[in-house]
Amino acid sequence: MDSSTRHLGTVVILLAFCLAVGLGAAETEKNPARCDDATFLRRLHLDASGCLPPYQALKGFLADRRPDRRERAIDALLASPAYADWWAWRWSDLLRVKAEFPSNLWPLGAVATHRWLRQSAALPYDRFVTALVTANGSGFSDGVVGFYRAIPERTPGYYADAVALVFLAQRSDAAPAPAFAACFAGLAFKPTGAWKEEILWWNPALIPAGTPAPAAPDGTPLAVAAGADPRPALAAWLTGPGRQDLARALANRTWAWLNGRGLVEPVDDLRPGNPPSDPALLDQLAATLIDSGWDHRALLRAILRSATWQAEAGNSGYAIRRLSAEVLLDALSSATGSADRWTSQIPEPFTVIPALPAVALPDGSISNTFLETFGRPGRSSALAAERSDAPSVLQAQRLLTSEQVQQKIVRSGWLKRLAGESTDPADELWLRILCRPPTAAERARCAVALAGGERRAALDDLAWALLNTTEFSTAH
Amino acid sequence: MLTRRDLFRLAAAGTLAAALPPALLAGDPPAPVVPPRPASRARAVIQVWLWGGPSHLDTFDPKPGAGRDFCGPLGKPIATSVDGLLIGQSLPLLAQQMHRCAVLRGMTHGSNGHETAAYLMQAARPAGDGLSWPGLGAVVSKLRGYEAGYRGLLPPYITLTTPQGRFSESGFLGGRHRPFATGGDPAAEAFAVDGMTVQGLSDTRQSSRRQLLADLDGFAAAHPADATVRELRACREQAYELILGDAGAAYDLGREDAALRDRYGRHRLGQSCLLARRLVEAGVPYVTINANGWDTHKRHFEAMGRMLPQLDAAVATLLEDLAQRGLLDSTIVWVGGEFGRTPRILWEPPWEGGRGHHGKAFSHLLAGGGVRGGTVVGATDERGENVVTRPVFPWDLFATLTGMLGLAPDTQLPLPQGGSVALLGPPPAGRSGGVLTEIL
């Protein structure tokens, strides 16, 4: 812990921000020690973009003495393309964006949906939800249609279940109310001449006789002309009278994305019998989202500025947790400076997949063994429990002794450059891999390792060891 | 969407189906609704999964009378070690193993899409029932793996060498029950298992790396009580036992007799079968061999000329080898793909002797684990297009295999959203010919 980073001015300003955004008394009372600057920046980038901080940005940040440098870093990240990738990644899990099975978006539809999610990262959340709920058109050219097309069971009841689960984090114990399901009674897909392309449209002729008048999930009647598409009215209800539930669901998910656990757990089971651990905080976060004009970045900003999220890791502070599959693989790639390879079985012949970071992959059918081993969700359902961040022996094996990790080290350009220099490499090794400067003891151990033999081999061993530390593979 | 209501619905459907007689063709005896549970002998499964769907006519259900438009150049089936049983002419070694095999000629499900058919064959559930069901390997991993007393260092569910890819093998059981895919090529000079070896890294260097890591993991030392940190460290220690200890020797095909390796065939499928035997010997309960390349729409017979001899040597030697080692009685060998191929050959361009997908009728092969050898279940018409007696649906096969493994049908599998569901539902109305009592 670098005590100089705990500048009094910073603390005062952070507390002021914290109070201003209304993160309550319960939060500040605990008054946990804040993490140091290096830890903060690494945590910020991992939690809100899924990537390690770029090396140059990290060095710049550690040299920055301005009292508001943390707020500046938060704002810069939330305005960057990395945030859009992160938002699209989180929502691709929820919308089950996958070319094949059990969702069948097909590669074109998966890419279109992912592109829409990415481009919509700046859209206010009420308009984001409205666009998804009222979607019509071809799943290949209008990515927003992917939400409905990814639902394998094409019945009004399942559409209603999906809307309730994805947007309100509500699960149904019984069949959805027939009046709520009636909002989707005319939804139909029709094929086009193009392979696997389908157009989603509203067909009043499909509505069975005796279908009740459409209503919101809570039973509020929706004023819709007979046979007309009730989904715009449903969206208006979700973002109007139903907005508390809508905002609380996203606030809880966002809290979980940034802290490892929701205020309500499971994050997708919001109901009266399952209260939040801190009801006032969840209400405040929901109010922050609504009052900002549904700017989800305002919600993130409030959490990222809070004393809770900036607390030191461990004990009752910030929860230490294994990095998610995609995030860990991207961290290995960016720390070493080598891209990864992907495969997809679909369609045949196999498509060429660009060298994207795992977090930016547009399609759940594109994968590799690493992602599967580290618990990437199969996107079979929209449930958060599908993702597993639990450690396993196979994962440890893959990090300790696999060609994949070894090749990343061997091919690393900066390790090669360091091998040709004669300066102390400890600073760069630690900054690039662990995103912090080494301690005196670590610097000494590094020197011992280098004295032992050939420099490149020693550098490879050091990089390998740092990549295998629990510090590297966790958010903390 | 997964909801608890699905369970009610499934349960209700089950009650309904159980009240109906199983769908059987006239003349067949009614099959019991609940699979019999004899003292199970099967401890392990080797699943040879023929990705893409092999032609039943060219393998286990030849139709010499159908003529060249159906048989192509493979119109002369051969006699086997079972009187009266003929199989494809490209499988002479397997022909000598038929007394150990049950040939399921009545396989059917009607689906012609790879992904849906693969899911049907391995999870034995129709797609779109609101749940993503696990395949048999994941079920065995759940019920015979680490949560059920398995102590082996080798993973309980191993895939040689790549995952299936088209659907998630573990379904709602989640990532913990995905198979471990070895990667690499067992037929290569130096077979490297993913996560077991790094080429050119000596044991000395492995050990010095281990020490370096211990010295540099100050974060773990600073958080000794943290649950995540403890679990990560425990997994690392176990991984080292596997990497540096004896368990990894199961992957070392260099310890096998060269002549035996030759008999299996020095190709990916042959050496994978040999490796599967070694893994089962070491206690692994489920090994899947993903044998790709059977989706032969074009120039089918050229591919068969290459692939059938490999299949023949690999599986025949596996059965003989398991039998000689006394392992066949406790090991189920299951050979087949997601469907068969269209009996009528497409001679015209661009197919030039191709076969399409055929889910209405195809064949699977079972041996070992208590299977009664020399049996044939079901039959197709004179062209192999439709099943005419004793259909074998995915449910029937799944119920038989789980029964042979001693897994009770009402064993509960946990669902991610809470609650649980029975391993085996009742036979689906119209889509079951009953448990394969004929081969038990």
Judge: B176–A388 Cβ closer than 8 Å, yes or no. yes
Is B17 a residue whose pLDDT tops 70? no
To 5 degrees, how large is the angle CA B6–CA B11–CA B14?
Answer: 125
**Stated length of chain A:** 476
Indicate whether A221 and A343 sit together in one domain: no
Indicate whether A337 and A311 sit together in one domain: no
d(C-alpha A58, C-alpha A41), whole Å: 7
Domain final position from A267, A288, A321: A321
Indicate whether A217 and A355 sit together in one domain: no
d(C-alpha B127, C-alpha A51), whole Å: 36
* Domain tally, chain A: 3
Domain final position from A239, A264, A298: A239
d(C-alpha B100, C-alpha A420), whole Å: 64
Domain membership of residue A95 (yes or no) is: no
Domain membership of residue A266 (yes or no) is: no
pLDDT of residue B2: 37
Domain membership of residue A209 (yes or no) is: yes
Indicate whether A191 and A218 sit together in one domain: yes
Average pLDDT in chain B:
89
Domain membership of residue A113 (yes or no) is: no
Helix (H) or strand (E) holding B387: strand B387-389
Q: Indicate the angle between helix axes A69-78 and A296-305, nearest 10 degrees.
A: 150
Indicate whether A29 and A140 sit together in one domain: no
Judge: B132–A378 Cβ closer than 8 Å, yes or no. yes
- Rounded (10°) CA dihedral B349, B353, B356, B358: 150
Domain membership of residue A439 (yes or no) is: yes
Domain membership of residue A375 (yes or no) is: yes
CB A47 within 8 A of CB A105: no
Between B9 and B157, the higher pLDDT residue: B157
Q: Which tens digit of pLDDT belongs to each residue from A398-433?
A: 999 988 899 999 999 999 999 999 999 999 999 999
Judge: B216–A401 Cβ closer than 8 Å, yes or no. no
Q: Which tens digit of pLDDT belongs to each residue from B190-203?
A: 787 877 777 778 88
- Return phi, psi of residue B376, to 5°: -125, 130
pLDDT of residue A200: 98
Is B8 a residue whose pLDDT tops 60? no
Domains of chain B: 43-195+261-439 (3.40.720)
Is beta strand B86-87 parallel, antiparallel or unpaired with respect to B101-107?
A: unpaired
pLDDT of residue B407: 95
Of B205, B213, B226, which has the smallest distance from its Cβ to A314's Cβ? B226
Indicate whether A417 and A297 sit together in one domain: no
Residue carrying the six token digits 């490892």: A260
Is B169 a residue whose pLDDT tops 90? no
- Structure ipTM: 0.90
Of A314, A441, A473, which has the smallest distance from its Cβ to B223's Cβ? A314
Residue from A36, A195, A380 whose CB has the most chain B CBs within 10 Å, to mutate: A380
pLDDT of residue A352: 67
pLDDT of residue B130: 75
Identify the domain containing residue A315 by its residue range.
1-79+275-321
Q: How sure is the predictor about A347, in pLDDT bands with cuts at 50, 70 and 90?
A: low
Q: Which tens digit of pLDDT belongs to each residue from A45-86?
A: 999 999 999 999 999 999 999 999 999 999 999 999 999 999
Domain membership of residue A204 (yes or no) is: yes
pLDDT of residue A368: 85
Indicate whether A358 and A292 sit together in one domain: no
How many inter-chain contacts (A to B, CB under 8 Å) are there?
203
Helix (H) or strand (E) holding B290: strand B286-291
C-alpha dist (Å) from residue B324 to A60, B280, B318, B333: 69, 14, 10, 15
Instruction: Return the structure tokens found at A348.
Output: 């045949």
DSSP conformation class of A351: P
Indicate whether A338 and A447 sit together in one domain: yes
Indicate whether A283 and A404 sit together in one domain: no
Domain membership of residue A99 (yes or no) is: no
Indicate whether A47 and A131 sit together in one domain: no
The amino acid sitting at B266 is R
Partner residues linked to B289 by β-bridges: B48, B160
d(C-alpha B186, C-alpha B184), whole Å: 7
Indicate whether A208 and A297 sit together in one domain: no
Helix (H, G, I), strand (E, B), or coil: what is residue B300? helix
Helix (H, G, I), strand (E, B), or coil: what is residue A222? coil
Q: How sure is the predictor about B39, in pLDDT bands with cuts at 50, 70 and 90?
A: low
d(C-alpha B96, C-alpha A138), whole Å: 56
Q: How sure is the predictor about A351, in pLDDT bands with cuts at 50, 70 and 90?
A: low
pLDDT of residue B41: 85
Judge: B195–A152 Cβ closer than 8 Å, yes or no. no
- Return phi, psi of residue B435, to 5°: -60, 150
Q: Which tens digit of pLDDT belongs to each residue from B98-138?
A: 999 999 999 999 999 888 899 999 999 987 777 889 999 99
Is B166 a residue whose pLDDT tops 60? yes
Of A391, A401, A469, which has the smallest distance from its Cβ to B219's Cβ? A469
Cα end-to-end span (Å), chain A: 13
Judge: A383–B130 Cβ closer than 8 Å, yes or no. no
Indicate whether A27 and A161 sit together in one domain: no
Domain final position from A239, A257, A290: A239
Q: Indicate the angle between helix axes A426-434 and A455-467, nearest 10 degrees.
A: 30
